[in-house]
């Protein structure tokens, strides 16, 4: 019992709890907290009446509408396509699978401006793809569809990369069990597989949507940036900044920040609901 | 349902998993597939379930060819080793799953399903768990739910893969007795896979011993214990003592061995291998015997004695402590086997190691 005087401390992987927590907090503060705080303080200087006037100006409202509409379209598309892509990458074996898997990261790695340029070249009236669409009366470039296309390009990996690992870890015994119980393949997906990847899928879609709201580089090239038509909120903030209208810029940025926060809360709620069966 | 399996073979890449399985299971029978891991027993079970497919062979159930039939159409209840309960459904929804996924025309009404689930929860003795999720259950409770889910569709055949493998010993014994009751209540043809002899013998009407993709022996506990059909079965049943003997007139002979307790075998004279279980050997003091007691230890109930021959061969013997004779270290004893199996030397595939002195690892 003489050893009771010297308590045995559990070994930690990282040296020193204080040191590791301190480092991460410092980093978080410098990289995220201070810029966000600066943004909020800048916005607070404006005063409620002026703030309201800026964000409800017709051009600003139009910009928010374009941004959100296009982000919704892009996210809906990615929700379906990203899920399908993750499914194909996990469930099937085919030649070139590894290459396809690696390609999935290109939107992460490629400078978004480069993506915007090549999308514009492809979909413009005389581009490879645009030349076939234009005679049908479908124009992508300089329309909201172009904005959505650019958003979809840059945000699709978020859905694929969040769903993929969960799908990989899903025990095949669940599907086998459902099969022996007489479930059709469609019922197995709808009632056994999908509910289990739902939390990851929701998380992926939310991040993709948030990313689409903030996307800038890829969009400015393909959108044409017509005020009231295809001008996005992030670009409007940039334009205000160029005009040395710091208040206008930060008011618009604050609204975007608010959207992002609301989205994160909703997403967390949805995930908590979808994972209600986990744990005791 | 009578299941007739004929010359079933299956390979995974280069390895043969099943090398020609012939087996008939009668209606209402409770059969165990017993074997070490890698013997192909789970693969056989999955083929019957329609979750895996053989390369060749036949599977006929009640006269109907089952091989072209998808798992969905076979009406089997399958209990997975790790239960595979749907984690996002409550116990009630898990059990009802097989009924609620039926096409509308065949699906019972909601009230009928609810009543059926209630009945099953009572049979499983877990009505209080109906609204819990699988993550909130203990291993034994999950096992019951898994069985309930399988029974809900009133399966023609019930298949269980290592049903008690992941549970601790006390719960295992409980569930074993209870599974036996459930089998008697439902009367469905039941096949289960296990690597645990005790489990197989206690539960099953018939035990099928499998090794390396073949059926080694089919029989009752006593038959398999007393007359193992092959060296593989003998070793698997715990006959870790292997002695080289000479057969003369159907009786094994070797120095220090008194085989009068063994039945005569209708086998040709010549060299052979005798397989003995350590707990089926009696010792008698005999100065003429080459076996000398070198070590003894007691665990309270049993005495483990070790005898050694001049060439270094060791034989372990387990004796009940209360009925064991007084044993003196350094004394020579004669081995008198109570049961044992003899196989001619050339019939032993693994004869590369004819003299295996002492295998410490016991099952």
pLDDT in tens, A148-205: 999 999 999 999 999 999 999 999 999 999 999 999 999 999 999 999 999 899 989 9
pLDDT in tens, A16-75: 788 888 889 999 998 889 988 888 888 888 888 888 998 899 999 999 999 999 999 999
Residues of chain B in contact with residue A170, where contact means CB-CB under 8 angstroms, are none
Q: How far apart are CA B209 and CA B339, in angstroms?
A: 19
Q: How far apart are CA A213 and CA A143, in angstroms?
A: 17
Kindly state the tokens that stand for A180: 């022996």
pLDDT in tens, B70-123: 999 998 999 998 899 999 999 999 999 999 999 888 899 999 999 999 999 988
Residue given tokens 């986990």 in the structure block = A278
From residue A183, how far is each of A7, B189, B282 by CA, in Å? 56, 22, 58
Best of B101, B147, B156 to substitute, by most chain A Cβ atoms within 10 angstroms, is B101
Q: Does residue B313 register a pLDDT over 70?
A: yes
C-beta of residue B247 within 8 angstroms of C-beta of residue B267: yes
C-beta of residue B58 within 8 angstroms of C-beta of residue A248: no
HSE (side-chain half, CA atoms, 13 Å) at B201: 10
Confidence of residue B350 (pLDDT cuts 50, 70, 90): very low
Confidence of residue A9 (pLDDT cuts 50, 70, 90): low
What pLDDT score does A101 carry? 92
Percent of chain B, pLDDT > 70?
Answer: 95
Torsion, Cα B148 B150 B152 B154, to 10 degrees, reads: -130
Rounded to a whole number of angstroms, the CA Rg of chain A reads 24
Q: How far apart are CA B363 and CA B360, in angstroms?
A: 10
Q: Taking CB atoms and an 8 Å limit, are B51 and A192 in contact across chains?
A: no
Q: Taking CB atoms and an 8 Å limit, are B87 and A280 in contact across chains?
A: no
What pLDDT score does B346 carry? 67
Neighbours of A57 (CB within 10 A): 15
Q: Taking CB atoms and an 8 Å limit, are A280 and B136 in contact across chains?
A: yes
Residues of chain A in contact with residue B158, where contact means CB-CB under 8 angstroms, are none
What pLDDT score does B342 carry? 87
Q: Is A166 on the interface with B (CB under 8 A)?
A: no
Average pLDDT of the segment spanning B24-29: 92
| Burial class for A60, CB neighbours closer than 10 Å (0-12, 13-18, 19+) | buried
Q: Does residue B355 register a pLDDT over 90?
A: no
Q: Does residue A10 register a pLDDT over 60?
A: yes
Confidence of residue A6 (pLDDT cuts 50, 70, 90): low
What pLDDT score does B348 carry? 55
Q: Does residue B352 register a pLDDT over 60?
A: no
pLDDT in tens, B123-154: 888 899 999 999 999 888 998 899 999 999 98
Confidence of residue B354 (pLDDT cuts 50, 70, 90): very low
Q: What share of chain B is helix, strand, coil (3-state, %, to 5)?
A: 30, 30, 40
Confidence of residue B330 (pLDDT cuts 50, 70, 90): confident
Residue given tokens 């015994």 in the structure block = A173
- Pairing of β B206-211 and β B214-219: antiparallel
* pTM tops 0.80: no
What pLDDT score does A275 carry? 78
A97-111, B21-35, B168-182, B278-292: segment of lowest average pLDDT: B168-182
Q: How far apart are CA A218 and CA A116, in angstroms?
A: 4
Kindly state the tokens that stand for B96: 């009802």
Q: Does residue B361 register a pLDDT over 60?
A: no
pLDDT in tens, B210-227: 988 899 999 988 888 888
Give the distance from residue B276's alpha carbon to the nearest chain A alpha carbon, in angstroms.
Answer: 41
Q: How many beta-carbon pairs under 8 angstroms link A with B?
A: 75
**Residue B330's Cα: distance from chain center in Å?**
39
Average pLDDT of the segment spanning A245-261: 89
- Pairing of β B64-65 and β B56-61: antiparallel
Comparing CB atoms, the residue among A171, A277, A280 nearest residue B84 is A171
Q: How far apart are CA B261 and CA B259, in angstroms?
A: 5
For residue B342, the SS3 value is: strand
**CA of B101: which chain A residue's CA is closest?**
A183
Q: Does residue B363 register a pLDDT over 50?
A: no
Kindly state the tokens that stand for B51: 């979750």
- Greater confidence (A158 vs A6) lies with A158
C-beta of residue B72 within 8 angstroms of C-beta of residue A179: yes
- Greater confidence (A122 vs B362) lies with A122
What pLDDT score does B45 carry? 93
Neighbours of A94 (CB within 10 A): 8
Sign of CA dihedral B12, B15, B20, B21: negative
């Amino acid at each position: 019992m003489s050893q009771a005087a010297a308590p045995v401390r559990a070994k930690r992987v990282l040296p020193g709890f204080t040191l590791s927590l301190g480092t991460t907090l410092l980093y978080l503060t410098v990289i995220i907290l201070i810029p966000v705080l600066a943004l909020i303080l800048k916005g607070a200087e404006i005063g409620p009446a002026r703030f309201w006037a800026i964000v409800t100006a017709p051009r600003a409202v139009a910009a928010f509408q374009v941004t959100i509409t296009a982000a919704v379209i892009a996210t809906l598309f990615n929700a379906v396509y990203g899920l399908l892509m993750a499914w194909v990458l996990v469930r099937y074996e085919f030649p070139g699978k590894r290459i396809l898997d690696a390609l999935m990261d290109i939107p992460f790695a490629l400078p978004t401006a480069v993506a915007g340029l090549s999308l514009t070249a492809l979909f413009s009236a005389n581009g490879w793809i645009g030349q076939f669409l234009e005679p049908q009366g479908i124009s992508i470039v300089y329309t909201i569809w172009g904005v959505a296309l650019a958003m979809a390009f840059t945000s699709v990996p978020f859905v694929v990369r969040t769903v993929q690992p969960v799908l990989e870890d899903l025990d095949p015994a669940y599907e086998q069990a459902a099969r022996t119980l007489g479930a059709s393949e469609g019922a197995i997906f709808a009632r056994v597989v999908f509910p289990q990847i739902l939390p990851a899928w929701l998380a992926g879609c939310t991040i993709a949507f948030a990313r689409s709201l903030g996307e800038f580089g890829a969009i400015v090239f393909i959108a044409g940036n017509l005020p009231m038509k295809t001008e996005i909120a992030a670009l409007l903030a940039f334009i205000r900044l160029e005009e040395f209208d710091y208040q206008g810029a930060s008011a618009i940025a604050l609204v975007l920040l608010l959207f992002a926060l609301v989205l994160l809360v909703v997403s967390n709620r949805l995930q908590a609901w979808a994972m209600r069966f986990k744990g005791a | 349902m009578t299941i007739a399996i004929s010359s079933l073979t299956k390979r995974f890449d280069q390895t043969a998993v099943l090398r020609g399985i012939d087996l008939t299971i009668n209606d209402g029978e409770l059969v165990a597939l017993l074997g070490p891991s890698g013997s192909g027993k789970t693969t056989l079970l999955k083929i019957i379930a329609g979750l895996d497919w053989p390369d060749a062979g036949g599977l006929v159930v009640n006269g109907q060819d089952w091989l072209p039939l998808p798992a969905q159409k076979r009406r089997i209840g399958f209990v997975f080793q790790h239960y595979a309960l749907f984690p996002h459904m409550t116990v009630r929804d898990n059990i009802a799953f097989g009924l609620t996924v039926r096409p509308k025309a065949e699906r019972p009404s909601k009230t009928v399903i609810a009543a059926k689930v209630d009945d099953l929860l009572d049979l499983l003795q877990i009505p209080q768990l109906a609204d819990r999720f699988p993550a909130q259950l203990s291993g034994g409770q999950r096992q019951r739910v898994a069985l309930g889910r399988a029974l809900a569709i009133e399966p023609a055949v019930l298949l269980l893969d290592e049903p008690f493998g992941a549970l601790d010993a006390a719960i295992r014994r409980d569930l074993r007795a209870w599974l036996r009751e459930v089998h008697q209540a439902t009367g469905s043809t039941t096949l289960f896979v296990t690597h645990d002899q005790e489990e197989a013998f206690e539960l099953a009407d018939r035990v099928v011993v499998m090794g390396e993709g073949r059926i080694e022996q089919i029989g009752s506990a006593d038959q398999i214990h007393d007359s193992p059909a092959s060296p593989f079965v003998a070793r698997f049943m715990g006959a870790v003592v292997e002695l080289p003997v000479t057969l003369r007139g159907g009786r094994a002979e070797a120095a220090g061995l008194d085989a009068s307790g063994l039945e005569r075998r209708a086998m040709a004279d010549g060299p052979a291998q005798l397989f003995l279980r350590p707990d089926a050997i009696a010792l008698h003091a005999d100065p003429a015997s080459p076996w000398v007691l070198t070590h003894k230890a007691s665990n309270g109930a049993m005495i483990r004695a070790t005898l050694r021959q001049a060439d270094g061969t060791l034989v372990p013997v387990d004796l009940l402590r209360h009925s064991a004779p007084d044993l003196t270290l350094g004394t020579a004893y004669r081995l008198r086997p109570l049961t044992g199996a003899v196989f001619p030397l050339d019939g032993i595939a693994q004869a590369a190691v004819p003299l295996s002195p002492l295998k410490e690892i016991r099952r």
